[in-house]
Amino acid sequence: MKSAEPHLAQVPGPTAGDSALPLTGHFIAGRECAGNGGSQDVFDPALGAPASRVAMADSATVSEAVSAASSAFPGWAATPPARRARIMFRFRELLEQHADEICRIISSEHGKVLGDAAGELQRGVEVVEYACGIAELLKGEHSREAGPGIDSWSEMQPLGVVAGITPFNFPAMVPMWMYPLAICCGNAFVLKPSERDPGASLYIARLLRQAGLPDGVFNVVNGGREAVEALLDDARVQAVSFVGSTPVAESIYRRTTAAGKRVQALGGAKNHAVILPDADLAASADALMGAAYGSCGQRCMAISVAVCVGEETGDQLAGLLRRRIAALRVGPGSDNQNDMGPLVSRDSLERVLGYIEQGVGQGAELAVDGRGLIVPGYENGFFIGACLFDRVKPQMSIYRDEIFGPVLCLLRVDSLAEAIELVNSHEYGNGAALFTRDGEAARRFSSEAQIGMVGINVALPVPVASQSFGGWKRSLFGDLHAYGPDATRFYTRRKTMTQRWLPRKPGDSAGPKFSFPSGGA
Ligand code: NAD
């Protein structure tokens, strides 16, 4: 991969008032600006100190971004899909060329290890590649001779201005679940990324412009709740894609549907891995390590519960995990030798520590205690080591709630039926995995699990770009999933035309008909 071109890496942004720290501003109509809503700190989680500031949009700034998108929409909607795709091809090349710089920004603001940031970017690029086929994806359906001299067809028309609101944990990938397909469908887009790691979105906005995207088709407003509510309440915004925690997803879903808008709101998760006695336990333990502790457990598809069928399976797996955790390297994300970086913020660290206290208080066995970890040179960083709770019970808060940290809960049950019952009783339904060599058990699990994304001997069953991503139950509010085939449905509305051209002379009409028209008539 080539390194960043200086003119892109060092574009001077607006300054943050009196602060000496650089400011990540907004990107509206192709220009960067600070807006009037003030700014707040963005931390380097490894150092535990502010490293930059982010502008916080007020409602006037949001309105400006929506105006820019509204003005750009008609021209963009009239641009042939093949031309839109050509811009995406160029954008894809720029992402590849600037991957190192994007990963550096992600790692410095989120804390994840550079290699993990590269993995997230790659999954986002795959959605861009899928969007490059937009001419094929938008092809409508045609019925010739639907009636005498009548042809009928449907086409997918863009919605107008659509908004995306995204979480901190995948600052490049989750926005890329949204805007490449929304834009390729002919919409104009306003992105509101997480205020905790806004840098990647602004950098990528510059790349889209460099790829030739007309100004106003892609805009970024930074900020928090005020910016989100201004976006939701703006009558010009036709549809909203949200990814974040369940309470916010649910409230956004309710507010947006009450306003008559289209919405997909993806929420939190508690993903179970069920381990049967016949599984390759060493391979299962390896898979669980990455799925539970990668990105410090801050993934919506992270495995946070291991359900072992049989006491012996539980004892063996706990031993294998303990040995692997002892070898885990925890440190700053900028060092690719590390397996796990810090948590994103002090608040997150305190939340995770609070849950560990609760688990101990409620009687779970803290088999590995990652608290009190000090990383030399990074003493103020938001670090915590991997934690493993054994003999967890379903009524405990560490089992019921999404902790969003490096905490794996191990439960023991007597049968596959009991494991499926456990999975299905949980309020979340994002992902689940089964580890086994038994095809019949695998088939039963994949059919009976009340879960949106199921893995068989795959711990993180994140769908590829040509499938769609989404959970069930309280992990998704709305009907359509993210990216893949569902995205072209979400970001367009169908129009169906019926047209008659009969060779007719004047006076040929058979006169009015009052029965309901049907195909043969
Ligand atoms: P969050 O809900 O705190 O924030 C998500 C977005 O909503 C951010 O842009 C934030 O600024 C905004 N926001 C926060 N509070 C708001 C409020 N009260 N009103 C309006 N907007 C608000 O989530 P987070 O902590 O950034 O991300 C972690 C969560 O996201 C976890 O629960 C994780 O499971 C979930 N997540 C889910 C998926 C999925 O695909 N289901 C993917 C990634 C993350």
Tokens 């309280």 found at: 474
Judge whether 221 lies within some domain. yes
Cβ atoms of 274 and 433 within 8 Å: the answer is yes
Alpha-carbon gap, residue 430 to 477, rounded angstroms = 12
Q: Is residue 453 over pLDDT 60?
A: yes
Beta-carbon contacts of residue 284 (< 8 Å; ≥ 6 apart): 273, 275, 317, 435
CB atoms within 10 A of CB 457: 16
Residue 33 resides in a domain: yes
Ligand 1 atom having least distance to the Cα of 469: 40
Q: Are both 229 and 347 inside the same structural domain? A: no
Residue 10 pLDDT > 50, yes or no?
no
pLDDT in tens, 174-227: 999 999 999 999 999 999 999 999 999 999 999 999 999 999 999 999 999 999
Q: Of 243, 283, 271, which Cα lies nearest the Cα of 435?
A: 283
What whole-number percentage of the chain has pLDDT above 90?
Answer: 91
What does the pLDDT read at residue 520? 57
> Using CA atoms, how far apart are residues 73 and 79, in angstroms rounded to an integer?
10
Q: Give the span between the Cα atoms of 346 and 294, in whole angstroms.
A: 19
Residue 293 pLDDT grade (very low, low, confident, very high; cuts 50, 70, 90): very high
Residue 3 confidence (pLDDT):
37
Q: Assign 291 a pLDDT band (cuts: 50, 70, 90).
A: very high
Indicate if 292 and 342 belong to the same structural domain: yes
| Residue 507 binned pLDDT confidence (cut-offs 50, 70, 90) | confident
- Of 456, 477, 512, the position where a domain reaches its end is 456
| In a shared domain, residues 261 and 275 | no
DSSP letters spanning 443-468: HHHHHH---SEEEES-S--PPPTTS-
User: Residue 222 in 3-state DSSP?
Assistant: coil
Phi, psi (5° rounding) for residue 420?
A: -65, -40
Instruction: Report the 10 Å Cβ neighbour count for 74.
Output: 11
Question: Residue 394 half-sphere exposure, CB side, CA atoms within 13 Å?
Answer: 13
307 shares a domain with 377: yes
Whether 466 is covered by a domain: the verdict is no
Place of tokens 């940290």: 405
222 lines ligand 1 (CB under 6 A): no
pLDDT tens digits along 112-128: 999 999 999 999 999 99
For residue 65, what are the β-bridge partners?
A: none
Q: Do both 308 and 249 map to the same domain?
A: no
Atom of ligand 1 at shortest distance to CA of 475? 41
140 has pLDDT over 90: no
Structure tokens at 418: 């009991």
Tell me if 480 is assigned to some domain. no
Domain ends where: 435, 456, 477? Answer: 456
Ligand 1 neighbour 269 (Cβ under 6 A): yes
Residue 62 confidence (pLDDT): 98
Task: Tell me, yes or no, whether 45 and 72 share the same domain.
Answer: yes
- The answer to whether residue 465 sits within a structural domain is no
Predicted pLDDT at 148: 86
Atom of ligand 1 nearest to the CA of 193: 9
Instruction: Tell whether 322 and 239 lie within a shared domain.
Output: no
pLDDT band at 2 (very low <50, low <70, confident <90, very high): very low
Task: Give the pair of three-digit tokens for residue 251.
Answer: 């409230």
Helices then strands, each counted (H, E), the chain: 17, 23
- Rounded Cα distance between 60 and 290, Å, is 43
Mean pLDDT of all residues belonging to the chain: 95
Residue in 243, 251, 382, 426 to alter for ligand 1 test, most ligand atoms within 8 A of Cβ: 243
Q: For residue 462, tell me if it sits in a domain.
A: no
Instruction: Look at residue 339 and tell me whether its pLDDT is greater than 50.
Output: yes
User: Residue 32: helix, strand or coil by DSSP?
Assistant: strand
Q: How far is the CA of 165 from the centre of ligand 1 (A)?
A: 8
Whether 241 and 288 share a structural domain:
no
**Within-domain flag for 353:** yes
Considering the domain architecture, whether residues 228 and 129 belong to the same structural domain is answered as yes
How many separate domains does the chain show?
2
Distance CA 280, CA 349 (A): 34
Domain region containing 364? 271-456
Instruction: Say if residue 68's pLDDT is above 90.
Output: yes
Give the separation between CA 355 and CA 413, rounded to whole angstroms.
Answer: 23
Q: How far is the CA of 242 from the centre of ligand 1 (A)?
A: 8
Q: Is residue 134 a part of any domain in this protein?
A: yes
Q: How many CB atoms lie within 10 A of CB 391?
A: 15
Q: What percent of the chain has pLDDT over 70?
A: 96
Task: Read off the pLDDT band of 510 (50, 70, 90).
Answer: confident
Tell me: do 46 and 180 sit in the same domain: yes
Q: What pLDDT score was predicted for residue 347?
A: 98
What pLDDT is stored for residue 512 in this prediction? 85
Q: Are residues 201 and 54 in the same domain?
A: yes
**Mean per-residue pLDDT, 384-400:** 98
Nearest CA to ligand 1 atom 27: 167
If asked whether residues 261 and 285 sit together in one domain, one would say no
Rounded to the nearest whole angstrom, what is the distance from the C-alpha of residue 244 to the centroid of ligand 1?
2
Task: State in Å: Cα 326 to ligand 1 middle.
Answer: 32
User: How many other C-beta atoms lie within 10 A of the C-beta of residue 469?
Assistant: 28
- Known catalytic residues are 300
Say which CATH number the domain at 101 has: 3.40.605.10
Looking at per-residue pLDDT, the higher value among 15 and 470 belongs to 470
Q: At which of 440, 456, 472 does a domain end? A: 456
CATH code, domain with 390 = 3.40.309.10
